[in-house]
């Protein structure tokens, strides 16, 4: 084929390509406009909801609101038992879920052999991350309440939420470990480090920011869960605090609070919003603001820690 023939064949293709570029650019602009519009709709809706929540809830935020028990009088009602219960349950959830989840993620990613057993575990973990929370409540009701006899207690609630966030933490831990460059492991092995030394001194410090993100996401989800706690028998009205974990007799630590009744902020807010009085609705909005503030605070802490850890690793 001569050069003239080549130019003749290439000319139509070039012309078609030139015509196709403007069409693709138009489609790209349309896609960007749809994406920006969808984002704005979501942000506007969220802003309106937050404004409505703040408008009704902020007037009820006061010191008395935090230190008073729930009451049949809306103006005297508070969230003392609810936020204390949420705090104690999250402590149990973190001790159980975070410890087991991070350990499982490290084992599956660094130590487990790649075989059919590991594949089944990975599939089940990924599927459990999408299971509705009510299923975990039913599981906990049969396993903990009736099976192990832990009763409708803070311990049962913490274990239930720990199971709920376990797949999230395992997946987050594995993804964070996978992001660590293989060259870092090879360099550590090259100077004679053992498998555990490589994992402990090199892989985990590099993966800590990502692991921390998964942990905070899991705990934030546990804070807002209601369905599994109602299933295992959480109280909707409680005017007392659990037993103090500090005792005046040796060994000065009491675990009786693990077996006491409880309520949490989402359930308290649900109890108030289901009442007909407008004052109780304002209390529910205030409780929602407190819950939102706690969740945002946890995420802010995670962002700060992640930034500092990454900055430290760069040095």
Q: How confident is the model at residue 110 (pLDDT cuts 50, 70, 90)?
A: confident
CB atoms within 10 A of CB 281: 18
Give me the residues paired with residue 246 across strands: 253
228 compared with 19, residue with greater pLDDT: 228
Q: Whole-number mean pLDDT of the chain? A: 82
Cα separation of 181 and 252, whole Å? 47
Q: What is the pLDDT of residues 185-205, one digit of tens each?
A: 888 888 888 888 888 888 888
Note the pTM of the prediction, 2 decimals. Answer: 0.80
What confidence score (pLDDT) does residue 17 get? 52
Q: How confident is the model at residue 315 (pLDDT cuts 50, 70, 90)?
A: very low
CB burial class (10 A; 0-12, 13-18, 19+) of residue 101? buried
Q: What is the pLDDT of residues 126-147, one digit of tens each?
A: 888 778 888 888 888 888 888 8
3-state secondary structure string across 175-235: HHHHCCCHHHHHHHHHCCCCHHHHHHHHHHHHHHHHHHHHHHHHHHHHHCCCHHHHHCCCC
Percent of the chain with pLDDT over 70: 91
């Amino acid at each position: 084929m001569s050069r003239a023939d080549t130019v003749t064949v290439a000319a139509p293709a070039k012309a078609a390509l030139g015509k196709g570029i403007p069409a693709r650019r138009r489609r790209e602009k349309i896609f960007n406009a749809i994406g920006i519009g969808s984002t704005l709709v979501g942000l506007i809706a969220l802003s309106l909801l937050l404004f409505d929540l703040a408008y009704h809830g902020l007037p009820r935020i006061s010191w008395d609101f935090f230190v008073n028990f729930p009451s049949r009088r809306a103006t005297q009602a508070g969230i003392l038992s609810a936020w204390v219960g949420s705090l104690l349950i999250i402590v149990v959830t973190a001790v159980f879920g975070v410890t087991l989840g991070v350990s499982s993620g490290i084992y599956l990613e660094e130590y487990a052999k790649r075989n059919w057993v590991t594949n089944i575990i990975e599939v089940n973990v990924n599927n459990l991350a999408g299971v509705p929370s009510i299923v975990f409540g039913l599981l906990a009701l049969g396993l903990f309440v009736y099976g192990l006899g832990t009763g409708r207690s803070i311990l049962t609630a913490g274990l239930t939420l720990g199971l709920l966030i376990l797949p999230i933490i395992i997946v987050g831990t594995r993804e964070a470990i996978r992001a660590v460059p293989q060259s870092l492991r090879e360099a550590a092995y090259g100077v004679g480090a053992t498998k555990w030394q490589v994992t402990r001194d090199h892989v985990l410090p590099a993966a800590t920011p990502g692991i921390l993100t998964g942990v905070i996401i899991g705990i934030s989800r546990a804070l807002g869960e209601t369905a599994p706690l109602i299933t295992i028998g959480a109280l909707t009205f409680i005017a007392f605090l659990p037993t103090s974990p500090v005792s005046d007799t040796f060994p000065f630590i009491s675990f009786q609070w693990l077996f006491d009744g409880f309520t949490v902020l989402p359930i308290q807010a649900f109890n108030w919003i289901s009442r007909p009085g407008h004052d109780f609705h304002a209390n529910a909005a205030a409780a929602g603001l407190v819950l939102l503030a706690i969740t945002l605070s946890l995420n802010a802490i995670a962002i700060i820690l992640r930034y500092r850890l990454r900055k430290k690793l760069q040095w």
